[in-house]
Chains A and B, each alone.
Chain A
Amino acid sequence: MPFIPPLADYGDGLLFRTQASTFAENSDSLFWMITWISVVFFIIVVGAMGWFMWKYRHRPVETFAPKTPSHNLPLELTWTVIPTLLVIVIFGFGFTGYLDQRTPPADAYEVRVIAKKWNFTFVYPDAGFTDSKLYIPVGRPVRLRMVSSDVLHSFWVPAFRSKWDIVPGRDSIIWFECTEPGEYLYQCTEYCGKDHSNMIKEGGVVAVPLDEFEDKLREIKTVKIQELEDDPLGGGEALFKDAGCAACHSVDGAKNACPTWEGLWGTTKKFTDGTSAIADDAYIRESILQPDAKIAEGFRNNMPSYKGQLEELQIMALTTYIRSLSEEGRAENVERDVPPVGGEPEAEDDSGADG
């Protein structure tokens, strides 16, 4: 077909990223088809305009143009009907492509996505871990079941030509089938506030060949647990960013939407209902799983529960990290023999995932 020469170049082209999903070719072909139709029309319109500008340029009034017809029904109908037919064709291709993208196959591998300001968390229910990277098998449809815990977000993988909004209060579904192993960029495309432009991860989508996929997930899980055990401090710090704690909590005493973690552990917290308690491990665990149980004085109840999102080991790591931010906590950490950041020397190169 004459309109697809740019597709011959399969690399990172002038206009598009390398195609990496089953939709991409379809979407790009349609794009180029429309583009070439547009170019033809553009040349007709602007070419005619330029030609007329030159050919009929201003002459003295005395050589006034002869009277030309001021309407011509067949001509009018021609340029009404031809574009109409063309756009119907474009519409047809567009709609069939859209139907493909909106009908996930039944056997798709499902990953859950939790979007919040300002990160995506991918929950692998089968594998039982969460990560800020999306691991997908090549050649098997993947379905993302996405929820938002605050405002609107939108999940876009440009290499897959695939995008869908994540609407709070609804389950948003998107699916795609990756064709090339590799690492791709994902990003948020629905404006969501201050760090909207940081909801982007280069290499955030990792496509693994289908036969290696299970192993890959197991491997990641093992690594994650190992990391947390070896380096609860570093793991906790990474979780602080990856799980979205950093959106509301600070670790330097700055007052954000939620209490700062600096000097939190071991102090006595006052709550809105008038009671108070010492911020110990149990309190922190409860605050993570059941944030509305006790609300710190001066703050609103605006934290979502992390129940089911964080593993016990991860909560422990976070607690360790929070401990390291106060005097009492550091003493406690020393007492409990927590390894320093970076963990044991042998685990060093794996630590601080995604840092």
Chain B
Amino acid sequence: MSAAAPAPPTGESGLDPDRSHHSEHGDADGHGEHAHVHDPHSPHGHAHHFESWRQQFDAGKLGMWLFLAQEVLFFSGLFCLYAVYRSLHPEVWEYADRFLSVPHGAFNTAVLLFSSLTMAWGVRCAMLGQRIGLTGCIAATLFCAALFLGVKSFEYTEKAHLHILWAGATEEPVMGGTRYDTPLVDVTDQVAEAEASSLTFAERESAALEATDVTLGKISVGCAIVALVLMVGAGLCWKLKANGWMVGLAAGVLCAIGMLVGAEGSMLLAHEMHGDHAGGEHHDGEAHDGHVETAHEMLEAESDVEIPPDGIGQFFSIYYVMTGLHAVHILAGMVVLTWLMIRAYRGDFTPDYFGPVDFVGLYWHLVDLVWIYLFPLLYLIG
């Protein structure tokens, strides 16, 4: 859905300066060609039904803003859900928040903020007619998006190994007759096993981390292979002078490498945290005064033995739905960015015609903005 919208506003008909708008032969869609009303001052023909290029740009921009309004309302439903359940079960939110890794979230926030910068820079490059600068900026944005997804994939994988999943996957329904089918993922036994086992949470966490390492290792290898294959393909396309394909494949390489770096990087970060965590406790104790240490220890002890409050599954349901839908938007954005990168490299955009760059930029900023809200709401305020 998201990918479709930024595309139509301006469409292709205004792109090729050399395409004839006065051709007499019938167009297949019976629409594109008309032998009248052209703005002779327009360097690129605008779509036939607009009176001027300016009108076309304004229409596209308004359309994009409306689309963004629509997106905001789409997410607002989720934020309402968040607000309702948070106010209903504050204790769950206080408890569950500790399973989300702030450093990873913070890193992702930084990555997305940076990608917003590169995107804005790209729009400026487009306005100034800097083709290579624009392509580079879009490439950087794309790489950041992939990096973000890489980190996210680590977080999801680790939680899956810890059996921290949505309500239906971790809890028995309390009421018969309101489920039509068993949940998609039934890990009830595993959860029971984990609960019954004598392992502390920290031990389970490190076990999960190892399992995550294995899973992500496979994903990384896959990413690397994909990146290599795409790179070879891009080289071939370069030889064949199929520039569009080449840039498309290069974008794929960027994505694969971004994913790999994101996943492996967050793995490293997690190991780092985990190691520090175990060793640093005594260290902390020496550094701070007694009161703080006690509170800290209590919290530590609590997280190992505390019985989770009821409804913790709901927190993670909402976590998965919100971040999942956000990730879907990132993915859609990546598709559009790839398309944009190909066109940018081809030199479609000029200081007079850069609507699509601007519109995709707006979309990208919105996706960032949503994350700017998600990060504190889910990771920080417990």
Contacts and interface: CB of A to CB of B under 8 A. Distances in A.
Whether A associates with B in a native complex is yes
A300 B178 contact: no
Most chain A CB inside 10 Å of its own CB: which residue of B176, B178, B179, B182: B176
B290 interface: no
B295 interface: no
A150 interface: yes
B178 A168 contact: yes
B313 to A, nearest CB: 15
Contact of B175 (A117, A149, A300): A149
B186 to A, nearest CB: 12
B177 interface: yes
A303 B178 CA distance: 10
B182 A304 contact: no
Interface in A184-228: none
B376 to A, nearest CB: 30
A353 interface: no
Contacts of B175: 149-150, 168-169, 304
A301 B179 CA distance: 10
Contacts of A151: 177-178
A79 B121 CA distance: 57
Nearest to A258: B176
Contacts of B182: 300
Interface residues of A, number: 14
A9 B178 CA distance: 46
Nearest to B178: A150
Interface residues of B, number: 7
Contacts of B176: 149-150, 291, 301-304
A212 B368 CA distance: 71
A150 B176 CA distance: 7
Interface in A147-161: 149-151
Interface string A99-126: 0000000000000000011000000000
Nearest to A151: B178
Interface in B169-222: 172, 175-179, 182
Nearest to A257: B177
Interface in A285-338: 291, 300-304
Interface in A115-149: 116-117, 149
A314 to B, nearest CB: 20
A183 to B, nearest CB: 31
Nearest to B179: A302
Contacts of B179: 300, 302
Interface in B240-271: none
Most chain A CB inside 10 Å of its own CB: which residue of B172, B178, B179, B182: B178
Contacts of A304: 175-177
A116 B177 CA distance: 10
B195 to A, nearest CB: 18
16 contacts: A149-B175, A149-B176, A149-B177, A150-B175, A150-B176, A150-B177, A151-B177, A168-B175, A168-B178, A169-B175, A291-B176, A300-B182, A301-B176, A302-B177, A304-B175, A304-B176
Interface of A: 116-117, 149-151, 168-169, 257, 291, 300-304
Which 9 residue pairs of A and B lie closest in terms of their CB atoms, listed nearest first? A302-B176, A150-B177, A304-B176, A302-B177, A303-B176, A150-B178, A168-B175, A301-B176, A151-B178
